[in-house]
């Protein structure tokens, strides 16, 4: 909205022509979201404390977590508010992809909100049932999957890093792939959100990476030069990713160890779904494995742990899953685990960007 108002003045004042550039609007979207989270963070914490919306700690979890009981949670609402306001201010709202990713972010945020609400306010120990949560995730992820499949400007070919000529056409199978990526990434980020700043750090790094990837895939000359899929209009998603980066940094100010508030499922589920959606739209479905490697490892640790436990009648691979709990029980201090996971996330981000030239 703000972009449209300012750019409309470029005929009278040439200076306002600068607002047509995605790069400038991405910077302002990042700063806007950052300032919103900074300004409202303390107020949101006080509001959550007033309504006694505090963290629930599982009895089977690490003993060190019991001191966190009652810490304000559902802070993901602050992230979503900052992202939406910033994106609506600086993005081109005639762009279909912007509305699509905002819709996915909001819908998965609603799922997370319902889960948090039932657990923290209605005092249901497990919140939404696994069946209900998974069903809603599939339903909401089906919307972007179908929209992209029937979009004449979008192709269903799969882009594979390192192989510029290998682009298999999945046809209707692309709908299933999109469902898997969005739902899988959403739950993977949710599983990672177990320590102070552990999920928001890698998520911010991942969105920063996709900020660049979105811009490149939406620029016809650069995309052709790098021999990556050109997706008309996808460059505008850089503005959305910038808003995510700004909101993530602002939230981390309050979520860093020791956390003053947690994001809750309303934050983790929506951030993961948004990340998966951006990866699909920009044709970086496979590259997401590298960019979001931290989330993948955390999710796989749970899958392997549960599978091995059932197959062997009670034996475990890790002391506790997800993986960050395993390191906790090995005696690693929480800040060390968090920072090391952040470092790995940065390394994975750089590796993913290197694939742009290794084709």
- The mean pLDDT of the chain is 90
Reported confidence tier of residue 155, pLDDT bands at 50, 70, 90: confident
pLDDT reported for residue 71: 87
pLDDT reported for residue 306: 93
Report d(CA 275, CA 194) in Å as an integer: 19
Whether the predicted pLDDT of 59 surpasses 60: no
Task: Give CA torsion, residues 42, 345, 230, 109, to 10 deg.
Answer: -40
Whether the predicted pLDDT of 47 surpasses 80: yes
Task: List the single range of 14-28, 76-90, 243-257 with lowest mean pLDDT.
Answer: 14-28
Do the beta carbons of residue 239 and residue 89 sit within 8 Å? no
pLDDT reported for residue 7: 56
Q: Is residue 276 part of a domain?
A: yes
pLDDT, tens digit (0-9, with 9 covering 90-100), for 291-304: 999 999 999 999 99
Task: List the single range of 10-14, 119-123, 194-198 with lowest mean pLDDT.
Answer: 10-14
Domains identified in the chain, total number: 1
pLDDT reported for residue 13: 72
Q: Is residue 179 part of a domain?
A: yes
Q: Is residue 251 part of a domain?
A: yes
292 compared with 359, residue with greater pLDDT: 292
Domain hosting 197: range is 17-354
Whether the predicted pLDDT of 15 surpasses 80: no
pLDDT, tens digit (0-9, with 9 covering 90-100), for 325-338: 999 999 999 999 99
Report d(CA 240, CA 99) in Å as an integer: 10
Q: Is residue 108 part of a domain?
A: yes
Q: Is residue 7 part of a domain?
A: no
126 compared with 79, residue with greater pLDDT: 79
Mean pLDDT of 104-112: 97
Reported confidence tier of residue 27, pLDDT bands at 50, 70, 90: very high
CB atoms within 10 A of CB 302: 17
Which residues, including other chains, have CB under 8 Å from residue 245's CB and lie 6 or more apart?
A: 30, 33, 204, 207, 208, 211
Report d(CA 333, CA 58) in Å as an integer: 20
72: helix, strand or coil: strand
Whether the predicted pLDDT of 60 surpasses 60: no
Whether the predicted pLDDT of 271 surpasses 70: yes
Q: Is residue 4 part of a domain?
A: no
Reported confidence tier of residue 58, pLDDT bands at 50, 70, 90: low
Overall residue count recorded for the chain in this entry: 359
pTM: 0.94
Mean pLDDT of 133-146: 96
Do the beta carbons of residue 57 and residue 325 sit within 8 Å? no
Mean pLDDT of 88-95: 95
119 compared with 33, residue with greater pLDDT: 33
Report d(CA 133, CA 175) in Å as an integer: 20
Percent of the chain with pLDDT over 70: 91
Residue whose C-alpha is closest to residue 91's, from 40, 160, 27: 27
CA angle 144, 190, 197 (to 5 degrees): 120
95 compared with 64, residue with greater pLDDT: 95
Reported confidence tier of residue 149, pLDDT bands at 50, 70, 90: very high
Report d(CA 33, CA 251) in Å as an integer: 10
Whether the predicted pLDDT of 108 surpasses 60: yes
pLDDT reported for residue 67: 61
pLDDT, tens digit (0-9, with 9 covering 90-100), for 164-200: 777 888 899 999 999 999 999 999 999 999 899 999 9
pLDDT reported for residue 286: 93
67 compared with 143, residue with greater pLDDT: 143
Do the beta carbons of residue 186 and residue 269 sit within 8 Å? yes
Q: Is residue 129 part of a domain?
A: yes
Strand-pairing partners, residue 169, are 157
Q: Is residue 10 part of a domain?
A: no
**Within a 13 Å sphere around the CA of 258, how many CA atoms are in the beta-carbon half?**
7
């Amino acid at each position: 909205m703000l972009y449209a108002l300012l750019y409309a003045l470029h005929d009278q004042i040439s200076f306002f022509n600068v607002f047509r550039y995605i790069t400038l609007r991405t910077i302002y979207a990042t700063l806007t979201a950052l300032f919103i989270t900074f300004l409202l963070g303390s107020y949101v914490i006080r509001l959550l404390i007033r309504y006694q919306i505090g963290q629930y700690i599982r009895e089977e979890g690490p003993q060190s977590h019991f001191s966190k009981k009652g810490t304000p949670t559902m802070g993901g609402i602050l992230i979503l508010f900052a992202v939406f306001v910033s994106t609506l201010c600086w993005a081109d709202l005639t762009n279909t992809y912007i509305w699509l990713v905002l819709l996915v972010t909001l819908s998965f945020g609603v799922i997370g909100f319902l889960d948090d609400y039932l657990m923290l306010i209605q005092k249901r120990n497990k919140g939404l049932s696994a069946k209900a949560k998974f069903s809603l995730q599939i339903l909401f992820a089906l919307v972007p999957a179908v929209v992209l499949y029937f979009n004449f400007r979008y192709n269903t070919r799969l882009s594979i890093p390192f192989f510029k000529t290998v682009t298999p056409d999945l046809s209707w199978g692309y709908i299933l792939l999109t469902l898997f990526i969005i739902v899988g990434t959403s739950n993977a980020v949710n599983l990672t959100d177990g320590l102070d700043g552990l999920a928001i750090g890698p998520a911010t790094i991942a969105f920063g990476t996709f900020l660049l990837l979105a811009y490149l895939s939406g620029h016809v000359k650069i995309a052709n030069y790098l021999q990556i899929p050109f997706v008309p209009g996808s460059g505008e998603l850089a503005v959305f990713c910038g808003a995510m980066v700004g909101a993530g940094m602002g939230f981390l100010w309050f979520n860093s160890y020791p956390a003053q508030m947690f994001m809750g499922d309303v934050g983790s589920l929506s951030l993961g779904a948004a990340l998966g959606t951006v990866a699909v739209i920009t044709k970086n479905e496979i590259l997401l494995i590298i960019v979001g490697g931290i989330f993948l490892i955390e999710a796989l640790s749970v899958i392997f742990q549960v599978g091995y436990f059932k197959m062997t009648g009670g034996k475990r691979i890790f002391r506790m899953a997800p993986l960050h709990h395993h390191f906790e029980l090995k005696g690693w201090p929480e800040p060390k685990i968090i920072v090391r996971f952040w470092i790995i996330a940065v390394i994975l981000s750089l590796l993913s960007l290197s694939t742009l030239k290794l084709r």
